Amino acid sequence: MGVNGLKFCVIGGGIGGLAAALALRQQGGDITVLEQAPALTEVGAGLQISANGMAVLRALGVVSETPEAGQRSFGTELRDYRHGRLISQIPSPKAGPTYYYHRADLLDLLHAGAVRVGVDIRLDVCVETVLTTPDGAHVQLENGTQIEADCIIAADGGRSRIRPILNGPEEPRFTRQTAWRATIPWRGRDDTPRAVLTMGPGRHVVTYPLRDQNLMNIVAVEERSDWRAEGWRQEGDPKDLRARFADFGGTVGEILDRVEQANLWALFLRPVAQQWQNGRLALLGDAAHPTLPFMAQGACLALEDAWCLARTFQNQPDIARALSAYETTRKPRATKVVAAAGVNARNFHLRGPARLVAQAGLMVLGPQLGRRYDWIYDYDPTV
Protein backbone atom coordinates (compact mmCIF):
# COMPACT_ATOMS: atom_id res chain seq x y z
CA MET A 1 0.00 0.00 0.00
CA GLY A 2 2.83 2.44 0.75
CA VAL A 3 2.43 5.43 3.06
CA ASN A 4 1.85 8.16 0.49
CA GLY A 5 -0.81 10.49 1.88
CA LEU A 6 -1.22 8.68 5.22
CA LYS A 7 -1.05 10.79 8.37
CA PHE A 8 1.34 9.57 11.06
CA CYS A 9 1.76 11.02 14.54
CA VAL A 10 5.04 10.08 16.21
CA ILE A 11 5.15 10.57 19.98
CA GLY A 12 8.72 11.23 21.08
CA GLY A 13 11.49 13.22 19.39
CA GLY A 14 14.41 11.03 20.38
CA ILE A 15 16.60 8.92 18.13
CA GLY A 16 13.95 6.27 17.40
CA GLY A 17 11.13 8.75 16.93
CA LEU A 18 13.05 11.02 14.54
CA ALA A 19 14.40 8.05 12.58
CA ALA A 20 10.88 6.67 12.14
CA ALA A 21 9.56 10.08 11.14
CA LEU A 22 12.32 10.50 8.57
CA ALA A 23 11.88 7.00 7.12
CA LEU A 24 8.11 7.38 6.80
CA ARG A 25 8.37 10.87 5.35
CA GLN A 26 10.85 9.74 2.72
CA GLN A 27 8.14 7.35 1.51
CA GLY A 28 5.56 10.13 1.24
CA GLY A 29 3.83 10.05 4.60
CA ASP A 30 2.46 13.15 6.30
CA ILE A 31 4.41 13.11 9.58
CA THR A 32 3.97 15.05 12.83
CA VAL A 33 6.39 14.52 15.72
CA LEU A 34 5.27 15.48 19.23
CA GLU A 35 8.04 16.05 21.80
CA GLN A 36 7.33 17.13 25.36
CA ALA A 37 10.71 18.85 25.85
CA PRO A 38 10.90 22.55 24.92
CA ALA A 39 14.02 21.84 22.84
CA LEU A 40 15.62 18.79 21.24
CA THR A 41 18.54 18.56 23.62
CA GLU A 42 20.27 15.69 25.38
CA VAL A 43 22.24 15.51 28.58
CA GLY A 44 25.84 15.12 27.46
CA ALA A 45 26.51 11.45 26.99
CA GLY A 46 27.80 9.06 24.39
CA LEU A 47 26.39 6.05 22.64
CA GLN A 48 27.73 3.34 20.39
CA ILE A 49 26.25 2.68 16.95
CA SER A 50 27.40 -0.65 15.56
CA ALA A 51 27.16 -1.77 11.93
CA ASN A 52 23.48 -2.73 12.16
CA GLY A 53 22.55 0.78 13.29
CA MET A 54 24.96 2.49 10.90
CA ALA A 55 23.26 0.72 8.00
CA VAL A 56 20.02 2.52 8.87
CA LEU A 57 21.68 5.91 9.32
CA ARG A 58 23.30 5.58 5.90
CA ALA A 59 20.05 4.46 4.28
CA LEU A 60 18.29 7.48 5.80
CA GLY A 61 20.94 9.73 4.27
CA VAL A 62 22.03 11.35 7.53
CA VAL A 63 25.61 10.01 7.55
CA SER A 64 28.16 9.21 4.86
CA GLU A 65 30.31 6.12 4.50
CA THR A 66 32.88 7.80 6.76
CA PRO A 67 30.68 9.71 9.24
CA GLU A 68 32.14 13.05 10.25
CA ALA A 69 30.32 13.40 13.58
CA GLY A 70 31.10 9.86 14.72
CA GLN A 71 34.33 8.58 16.21
CA ARG A 72 35.36 5.33 14.57
CA SER A 73 36.15 2.46 16.93
CA PHE A 74 38.92 -0.05 16.37
CA GLY A 75 37.59 -2.54 18.89
CA THR A 76 37.36 -3.01 22.64
CA GLU A 77 39.92 -3.54 25.37
CA LEU A 78 39.09 -5.61 28.44
CA ARG A 79 41.00 -4.58 31.56
CA ASP A 80 41.19 -5.53 35.23
CA TYR A 81 40.19 -2.89 37.72
CA ARG A 82 43.12 -2.73 40.15
CA HIS A 83 45.88 -1.39 37.93
CA GLY A 84 44.17 -1.32 34.57
CA ARG A 85 45.98 -4.48 33.48
CA LEU A 86 45.09 -5.50 29.93
CA ILE A 87 43.22 -8.81 29.86
CA SER A 88 42.38 -9.05 26.19
CA GLN A 89 41.43 -7.15 23.05
CA ILE A 90 38.31 -7.69 20.96
CA PRO A 91 38.59 -6.49 17.35
CA SER A 92 35.88 -4.59 15.52
CA PRO A 93 32.98 -6.77 14.32
CA LYS A 94 33.54 -8.23 10.87
CA ALA A 95 30.31 -6.51 9.74
CA GLY A 96 32.03 -3.15 10.05
CA PRO A 97 33.29 -0.69 12.65
CA THR A 98 31.26 0.75 15.46
CA TYR A 99 31.05 4.54 15.74
CA TYR A 100 30.90 6.51 18.99
CA TYR A 101 28.49 9.46 18.96
CA HIS A 102 27.62 12.18 21.37
CA ARG A 103 23.86 11.81 21.72
CA ALA A 104 23.30 15.46 20.91
CA ASP A 105 25.29 15.15 17.67
CA LEU A 106 23.33 12.13 16.44
CA LEU A 107 20.06 13.78 17.43
CA ASP A 108 21.08 16.89 15.45
CA LEU A 109 21.77 14.80 12.35
CA LEU A 110 18.37 13.10 12.52
CA HIS A 111 16.58 16.36 13.29
CA ALA A 112 18.21 18.12 10.34
CA GLY A 113 17.30 15.23 8.05
CA ALA A 114 13.69 15.24 9.23
CA VAL A 115 13.33 19.00 8.80
CA ARG A 116 14.90 18.83 5.37
CA VAL A 117 12.20 16.47 4.06
CA GLY A 118 9.33 18.34 5.68
CA VAL A 119 8.55 16.53 8.95
CA ASP A 120 6.42 18.71 11.24
CA ILE A 121 8.20 18.71 14.63
CA ARG A 122 6.29 20.24 17.54
CA LEU A 123 8.11 20.88 20.81
CA ASP A 124 6.86 21.50 24.35
CA VAL A 125 3.80 19.31 23.68
CA CYS A 126 2.46 17.05 26.41
CA VAL A 127 0.43 14.02 25.34
CA GLU A 128 -2.33 12.93 27.69
CA THR A 129 -3.52 9.79 25.89
CA VAL A 130 -4.30 8.28 22.51
CA LEU A 131 -7.53 6.81 21.22
CA THR A 132 -7.82 4.37 18.35
CA THR A 133 -10.64 2.85 16.31
CA PRO A 134 -10.61 0.56 13.27
CA ASP A 135 -11.04 3.67 11.12
CA GLY A 136 -8.43 5.98 12.62
CA ALA A 137 -6.79 7.43 15.70
CA HIS A 138 -6.19 10.66 17.51
CA VAL A 139 -3.81 12.02 20.11
CA GLN A 140 -5.27 13.90 23.06
CA LEU A 141 -2.96 16.64 24.35
CA GLU A 142 -2.99 17.91 27.92
CA ASN A 143 -4.17 21.33 26.71
CA GLY A 144 -7.30 19.73 25.24
CA THR A 145 -6.16 19.75 21.60
CA GLN A 146 -6.73 16.66 19.48
CA ILE A 147 -4.51 15.61 16.59
CA GLU A 148 -6.01 13.21 14.08
CA ALA A 149 -3.90 10.52 12.44
CA ASP A 150 -4.19 7.34 10.43
CA CYS A 151 -1.46 5.75 12.55
CA ILE A 152 0.30 6.62 15.82
CA ILE A 153 3.86 5.59 16.66
CA ALA A 154 4.79 5.70 20.36
CA ALA A 155 8.55 6.24 20.65
CA ASP A 156 8.36 7.81 24.10
CA GLY A 157 11.01 5.78 25.87
CA GLY A 158 11.32 3.10 28.52
CA ARG A 159 8.81 4.80 30.80
CA SER A 160 6.31 5.22 27.99
CA ARG A 161 2.92 6.64 28.92
CA ILE A 162 1.42 4.99 25.83
CA ARG A 163 2.65 1.42 26.36
CA PRO A 164 0.10 0.72 29.18
CA ILE A 165 -2.73 1.38 26.70
CA LEU A 166 -1.68 -1.79 24.90
CA ASN A 167 -0.26 -3.81 27.79
CA GLY A 168 -1.91 -2.58 30.96
CA PRO A 169 -0.05 -1.35 34.06
CA GLU A 170 3.37 -2.89 34.71
CA GLU A 171 5.76 -2.68 37.63
CA PRO A 172 9.41 -2.40 36.57
CA ARG A 173 11.95 -4.59 38.36
CA PHE A 174 14.89 -2.88 40.02
CA THR A 175 18.07 -4.69 38.95
CA ARG A 176 20.03 -3.54 42.02
CA GLN A 177 22.43 -1.80 39.70
CA THR A 178 22.99 1.91 39.26
CA ALA A 179 24.86 3.71 36.50
CA TRP A 180 26.86 6.92 36.47
CA ARG A 181 27.27 8.92 33.24
CA ALA A 182 29.78 11.67 32.62
CA THR A 183 31.96 13.26 29.95
CA ILE A 184 35.25 15.05 30.48
CA PRO A 185 37.50 17.10 28.19
CA TRP A 186 40.18 14.87 26.69
CA ARG A 187 43.42 15.64 24.88
CA GLY A 188 44.72 12.14 24.36
CA ARG A 189 45.25 11.13 20.74
CA ASP A 190 45.16 7.53 19.56
CA ASP A 191 45.45 6.37 15.97
CA THR A 192 43.24 3.36 16.80
CA PRO A 193 40.78 4.51 19.49
CA ARG A 194 38.88 1.79 21.32
CA ALA A 195 36.30 1.40 24.02
CA VAL A 196 37.79 0.21 27.31
CA LEU A 197 35.75 -2.09 29.56
CA THR A 198 37.30 -2.22 33.03
CA MET A 199 35.79 -4.96 35.19
CA GLY A 200 35.83 -5.34 38.97
CA PRO A 201 33.83 -7.25 41.60
CA GLY A 202 30.28 -5.92 41.42
CA ARG A 203 31.29 -2.97 39.24
CA HIS A 204 32.53 -2.01 35.80
CA VAL A 205 33.47 1.14 33.89
CA VAL A 206 33.21 1.73 30.14
CA THR A 207 35.10 4.62 28.55
CA TYR A 208 35.42 5.71 24.93
CA PRO A 209 36.29 8.94 23.07
CA LEU A 210 33.86 11.33 21.39
CA ARG A 211 34.05 14.30 19.04
CA ASP A 212 37.40 13.58 17.41
CA GLN A 213 38.79 12.46 20.79
CA ASN A 214 38.16 15.84 22.42
CA LEU A 215 35.78 14.28 24.97
CA MET A 216 35.90 11.07 26.96
CA ASN A 217 32.60 9.36 27.68
CA ILE A 218 32.24 7.47 30.98
CA VAL A 219 29.64 4.95 32.12
CA ALA A 220 30.30 3.45 35.55
CA VAL A 221 27.95 0.75 36.82
CA GLU A 222 27.81 -0.63 40.36
CA GLU A 223 25.63 -3.03 42.29
CA ARG A 224 23.74 -1.19 45.02
CA SER A 225 20.22 -0.91 46.35
CA ASP A 226 20.15 2.52 48.04
CA TRP A 227 19.51 4.57 44.89
CA ARG A 228 16.24 4.00 43.08
CA ALA A 229 15.79 7.14 40.96
CA GLU A 230 15.01 5.77 37.50
CA GLY A 231 15.42 8.95 35.45
CA TRP A 232 18.95 9.27 34.05
CA ARG A 233 19.08 13.06 34.41
CA GLN A 234 19.43 12.84 38.20
CA GLU A 235 22.53 14.67 39.36
CA GLY A 236 25.14 12.62 41.21
CA ASP A 237 28.09 13.70 43.37
CA PRO A 238 31.44 13.18 41.59
CA LYS A 239 33.14 12.72 44.97
CA ASP A 240 30.78 9.85 45.71
CA LEU A 241 31.54 8.36 42.28
CA ARG A 242 35.27 8.45 42.98
CA ALA A 243 34.82 6.98 46.45
CA ARG A 244 32.79 4.06 45.11
CA PHE A 245 35.40 3.30 42.43
CA ALA A 246 38.44 4.32 44.45
CA ASP A 247 40.23 1.01 43.88
CA PHE A 248 40.03 1.33 40.08
CA GLY A 249 43.57 2.15 38.91
CA GLY A 250 45.42 2.81 35.69
CA THR A 251 44.01 5.18 33.09
CA VAL A 252 40.40 4.66 34.19
CA GLY A 253 41.31 5.84 37.69
CA GLU A 254 42.84 8.99 36.21
CA ILE A 255 39.70 9.54 34.12
CA LEU A 256 37.39 9.23 37.14
CA ASP A 257 39.58 11.70 39.06
CA ARG A 258 38.77 14.35 36.44
CA VAL A 259 34.96 14.05 36.56
CA GLU A 260 33.40 17.34 37.66
CA GLN A 261 29.74 16.62 36.87
CA ALA A 262 27.89 13.32 36.72
CA ASN A 263 24.40 11.93 36.33
CA LEU A 264 23.24 8.88 38.24
CA TRP A 265 20.29 6.59 37.69
CA ALA A 266 19.00 3.25 38.88
CA LEU A 267 18.62 0.53 36.25
CA PHE A 268 15.09 -0.83 36.14
CA LEU A 269 14.03 -3.57 33.79
CA ARG A 270 10.72 -3.92 32.02
CA PRO A 271 10.02 -6.94 29.85
CA VAL A 272 9.72 -6.78 26.10
CA ALA A 273 6.11 -5.72 25.52
CA GLN A 274 3.64 -8.54 25.01
CA GLN A 275 1.62 -6.41 22.59
CA TRP A 276 3.36 -3.95 20.27
CA GLN A 277 0.42 -2.71 18.23
CA ASN A 278 -3.35 -2.76 17.78
CA GLY A 279 -3.74 -1.98 14.09
CA ARG A 280 -3.55 1.81 14.49
CA LEU A 281 -1.01 2.32 17.29
CA ALA A 282 2.50 0.83 17.48
CA LEU A 283 5.35 0.95 20.01
CA LEU A 284 8.92 1.63 18.89
CA GLY A 285 12.33 1.56 20.57
CA ASP A 286 12.52 1.47 24.36
CA ALA A 287 8.73 1.80 24.58
CA ALA A 288 8.53 -1.71 23.08
CA HIS A 289 11.74 -3.32 24.32
CA PRO A 290 13.66 -1.45 27.04
CA THR A 291 17.10 -2.96 27.47
CA LEU A 292 19.97 -2.77 29.92
CA PRO A 293 22.97 -0.91 28.45
CA PHE A 294 25.34 -3.89 28.50
CA MET A 295 25.21 -4.67 24.78
CA ALA A 296 25.16 -1.00 23.68
CA GLN A 297 22.20 -1.78 21.43
CA GLY A 298 19.39 0.46 22.67
CA ALA A 299 19.79 3.11 19.97
CA CYS A 300 20.59 0.52 17.31
CA LEU A 301 17.42 -1.45 18.02
CA ALA A 302 15.38 1.77 17.77
CA LEU A 303 16.98 2.55 14.40
CA GLU A 304 16.23 -0.97 13.18
CA ASP A 305 12.62 -0.59 14.35
CA ALA A 306 12.24 2.68 12.47
CA TRP A 307 13.46 1.29 9.16
CA CYS A 308 11.53 -1.97 9.42
CA LEU A 309 8.33 -0.18 10.38
CA ALA A 310 8.47 2.06 7.32
CA ARG A 311 9.34 -0.85 5.03
CA THR A 312 6.39 -3.00 6.14
CA PHE A 313 4.02 -0.42 4.66
CA GLN A 314 5.50 -1.13 1.24
CA ASN A 315 4.64 -4.82 1.46
CA GLN A 316 1.24 -4.92 3.18
CA PRO A 317 -2.23 -3.96 1.90
CA ASP A 318 -3.37 -1.91 4.90
CA ILE A 319 -2.21 -0.28 8.14
CA ALA A 320 -3.36 -3.09 10.43
CA ARG A 321 -1.46 -5.77 8.53
CA ALA A 322 1.60 -3.53 8.19
CA LEU A 323 1.77 -3.04 11.97
CA SER A 324 1.18 -6.73 12.58
CA ALA A 325 4.05 -7.59 10.22
CA TYR A 326 6.26 -5.05 11.99
CA GLU A 327 5.61 -6.70 15.35
CA THR A 328 6.14 -10.20 13.96
CA THR A 329 9.43 -9.17 12.37
CA ARG A 330 10.90 -7.17 15.24
CA LYS A 331 9.77 -8.87 18.44
CA PRO A 332 11.92 -12.06 18.26
CA ARG A 333 15.13 -10.17 17.48
CA ALA A 334 14.57 -7.49 20.11
CA THR A 335 13.82 -10.16 22.72
CA LYS A 336 17.06 -12.00 21.91
CA VAL A 337 19.20 -8.84 22.07
CA VAL A 338 17.64 -7.77 25.38
CA ALA A 339 18.42 -11.21 26.82
CA ALA A 340 22.05 -10.97 25.68
CA ALA A 341 22.41 -7.64 27.50
CA GLY A 342 21.07 -9.24 30.67
CA VAL A 343 23.70 -11.98 30.51
CA ASN A 344 26.49 -9.42 30.17
CA ALA A 345 25.23 -7.64 33.28
CA ARG A 346 26.21 -10.71 35.28
CA ASN A 347 29.45 -11.48 33.46
CA PHE A 348 30.91 -8.00 33.93
CA HIS A 349 30.64 -8.18 37.75
CA LEU A 350 32.04 -11.60 38.67
CA ARG A 351 33.67 -12.02 42.07
CA GLY A 352 36.24 -14.29 43.66
CA PRO A 353 37.48 -17.43 41.87
CA ALA A 354 34.85 -17.08 39.13
CA ARG A 355 36.37 -13.75 38.13
CA LEU A 356 39.88 -15.18 37.92
CA VAL A 357 38.72 -18.16 35.88
CA ALA A 358 36.82 -15.86 33.52
CA GLN A 359 39.87 -13.65 33.05
CA ALA A 360 42.05 -16.64 32.22
CA GLY A 361 39.53 -17.66 29.59
CA LEU A 362 39.37 -14.15 28.17
CA MET A 363 43.14 -14.05 27.76
CA VAL A 364 42.91 -17.05 25.47
CA LEU A 365 39.55 -16.50 23.79
CA GLY A 366 39.22 -12.72 23.89
CA PRO A 367 40.08 -12.09 20.22
CA GLN A 368 37.30 -14.52 19.21
CA LEU A 369 34.84 -13.37 21.86
CA GLY A 370 33.19 -10.81 19.64
CA ARG A 371 32.26 -13.49 17.11
CA ARG A 372 29.53 -14.75 19.41
CA TYR A 373 27.66 -11.51 18.71
CA ASP A 374 28.04 -11.53 14.93
CA TRP A 375 24.31 -12.25 14.72
CA ILE A 376 23.70 -8.79 16.18
CA TYR A 377 26.13 -6.78 14.08
CA ASP A 378 25.72 -8.68 10.79
CA TYR A 379 22.02 -7.86 10.64
CA ASP A 380 21.23 -5.24 8.01
CA PRO A 381 17.56 -4.24 8.09
CA THR A 382 17.91 -2.18 4.91
CA VAL A 383 18.53 -5.10 2.54
pLDDT for res 44: 61
Architecture per CATH, 7-72+100-171+271-346+372-377 = 3-Layer(bba) Sandwich (3.50)
Q: How confident is the model at residue 69 (pLDDT cuts 50, 70, 90)?
A: confident
CA–centroid distance for 67 within its chain: 19
How many CB atoms within 10 Å of residue 104?
17
Over residues 331-341, the mean pLDDT reads: 96
Q: pLDDT tens digits for 349-379?
A: 767 666 666 666 666 666 666 688 999 999 9
Over residues 10-19, the mean pLDDT reads: 97
Query: In this model, does residue 5 exceed pLDDT 80?
Result: yes
Q: Give 181's strand partners.
A: 219, 263
Fold exhibited by the domain 174-269+348-370: D-Amino Acid Oxidase; Chain A, domain 2 (3.30.9)
Rounded CA gap, 347 and 293, in Å? 13
Over residues 37-60, the mean pLDDT reads: 88
Percent of the chain with pLDDT over 70: 92
Query: In this model, does residue 180 exceed pLDDT 90?
Result: yes
Q: How confident is the model at residue 327 (pLDDT cuts 50, 70, 90)?
A: very high
pLDDT for res 92: 92
Over residues 146-158, the mean pLDDT reads: 96
Rounded CA gap, 66 and 70, in Å? 8
Query: In this model, does residue 66 exceed pLDDT 90?
Result: no
Chain mean pLDDT for the chain: 91
Close Cβ partners of 374 (under 8 Å, ≥ 6 residues apart): 93, 94, 95
Over residues 75-101, the mean pLDDT reads: 92
Query: In this model, does residue 189 exceed pLDDT 90?
Result: no
pLDDT for res 43: 60
Within this chain, domains 7-72+100-171+271-346+372-377 and 174-269+348-370 share the same CATH topology = no
Over residues 83-88, the mean pLDDT reads: 90
pLDDT for res 360: 62
Please indicate whether residue 366 or residue 343 has the higher confidence score (pLDDT): 343
Q: How confident is the model at residue 73 (pLDDT cuts 50, 70, 90)?
A: very high
Query: Is the alpha carbon torsion for 311, 102, 49, 359 positive or negative?
Result: negative
Query: Does an H or E element contain 107, and which?
Result: helix 103-116
pLDDT for res 207: 97
Answer whether 0.85 is exceeded by the pTM.
yes
127-133 β-sheet, strand order: 127-133, 136-141, 146-149
For residue 224, with 0-12 CB atoms within 10 Å meaning exposed, 13-18 middle and 19 or more buried, which class applies?
A: middle
pLDDT for res 343: 82
Query: In this model, does residue 77 exceed pLDDT 80?
Result: yes
**34-48, 95-109, 173-187, 260-274: the lowest-pLDDT one:** 34-48
Q: How confident is the model at residue 303 (pLDDT cuts 50, 70, 90)?
A: very high
Q: pLDDT tens digits for 224-252?
A: 888 767 766 688 999 999 999 999 999 99
What residues does each domain of the chain span? 7-72+100-171+271-346+372-377, 174-269+348-370
Rounded CA gap, 33 and 1, in Å? 22
Closest CA to 114 of 242, 248, 239, 17: 17
Over residues 330-359, the mean pLDDT reads: 80
pLDDT for res 151: 98
Rounded CA gap, 267 and 277, in Å? 26
pLDDT for res 38: 86
pLDDT for res 370: 65
